[in-house]
Structure 1
């Protein structure tokens, strides 16, 4: 227990350059997850995020096998996955089944590539559960560049995206290009999800992309307040998860998921309490 909560060791590790780099990556990722999360929740895209993260694993595994940059490989895999899912699932009734089919194929391919890779086992494990030492200057540059592009696109498209998310039928009747917006948003989500693979890992990046936003939507119906709360919750989960993982040297994803789930439980209790008071 002392090893798990060794404050002195944690403070020493916080001064290391690679830890500071990881914290910066987590902060950027938390911002992306927070601003995209409420729209993901309102559009019922949680399963899509999971599918995209697993296909980001396939791209990262391919890059690992070929000796390329893992972050770029994961990003390419996630964007391809988002485009494929958007093109194959024209009808909402087909969406879940298409994700399941593409997810199964991509995950099997990723497992095969990881098996073929003969390098260090820690590299394979890092793709699944995340590792803070995986962040470097090139990774931060890629993360920052993609974050800027995603945030600019979201600022330009936020109003029609929100309209299409809340009431897609009326938005379509008003002439909003819902199909094109869905495809663009899927690519943005894919990019953000892929960027989280190095930090959180492909298996549990869903916790950062969905859980903080789901918690925020529990306590407020305002899109602006939900976005602000989701950013705060995602930052606490991502940065706090890294800080808590330092002393034990445990996978970051374990602490990120624990913090985000605890936040969700607190918001759930708050929303239930409000419901009882109104009743």
Structure 2
């Protein structure tokens, strides 16, 4: 398998994607922002389509759209009564824009498939380097803001009472979330990138209870999911997204079953 350059590049890229998604996903779940990762994935689809239309890379288009939208959409999280309808409206709008941009571009329909479902064949060395730089930036931001961000994510009221700048922390988190969506979509596609950003973190909370352990379990599940997905996709020629999402869903229900078993014994 590793005799093929595209598989080597895919494994390197997927490793950084998994680490980033697993790390960010813990805070996505703790901050109850799973809905936002799903919305940003659809906004990312429109951004990638826009990039193709204007002649820039799909990744650059994704980053542009998700960065601008993340903070605006994230502000809706405080309006729980209007959240569901607002998010549905925004998601529908950007899916429509993505389809419009693709229809106006001169590229083939295969580009739409790659954007929506990811591609292990189309990852080049240059794109791997870009993903690594973005992933390292996200990790660096989390290292800097780790303690206050963890405090704010798991005890928001206490963080505000302690005088932390929760607004700044929220913006920093939304930026890293937007970048994580753009990074992860390169392998699993914009349609299912939220799987990596929600399920490993949600599974981890069923089996461990401290923040460092949550991060370790979440990152571990993300790594196993993408590595196993790439391997099974190589030997079967089935979509890598199917195997990654299938593994994460199974892991989630196993974690949920373990929690229920612990509660009953």
With the length of structure 2 as denominator, give the TM-score of the two structures. Answer: 0.94
Which of 9, 16, 30 is the matching residue for 2:18?
30
CA contact (8 A) 1:89 1:98 kept: no
Aligned ranges for residues 148-187 of structure 1 at < 5 Å? 148-187=136-175
Equivalent pairs counted in the alignment come to 265
Query: Do the aligned partners of 1:134 and 1:198 also contact (CA within 8 Å) in 2?
Result: no
Deviations 1:140-187 (A, max 9, x none): 121111111111110111111111111212211221111221121011
Tell me whether 164-173 or 184-193 shows the greater mean CA deviation: 164-173
Change (3 A) 1:84 1:245: same
Q: Does the 8 Å CA contact 1:57/1:77 hold for their aligned counterparts?
A: no
Residue 229 (structure 2) pairs with residue 263 (structure 1): no
Q: Which runs of no fewer than 5 residues in structure 1 stay unpaired?
A: 1-12
Q: Could you state the TM-score of these two structures normalised by the residue count of structure 1?
A: 0.90
Quick one: distance in 2 between partners of 1:223 and 1:158? 10
CA RMSD of aligned residues (A): 1.6
Residue 48 in 1 paired to residue 31 in 2?
Answer: no
Structure 2: tracts of 5 or more residues without a match: none
1:7 aligns with: none
- Who is 1:198 aligned against? 186
Instruction: Return the offset for 1:123.
Output: 1.3
Give the match for residue 58 of structure 1.
Answer: 46
Of 242, 245, 250, which residue of structure 2 is paired with 1:254? 242
Larger CA deviation: 95-104 vs 223-232: 95-104
Q: Please give the alpha-carbon distance, in whole angstroms, between the structure 1 residues aligned to 2:217 and 2:75.
A: 32
Please say if residues 135 and 183 of structure 2, whose CA atoms lie closer than 8 Å, have aligned partners that are also in contact: no
Residue 137 of structure 1: how far off its partner (Å) = 1.7
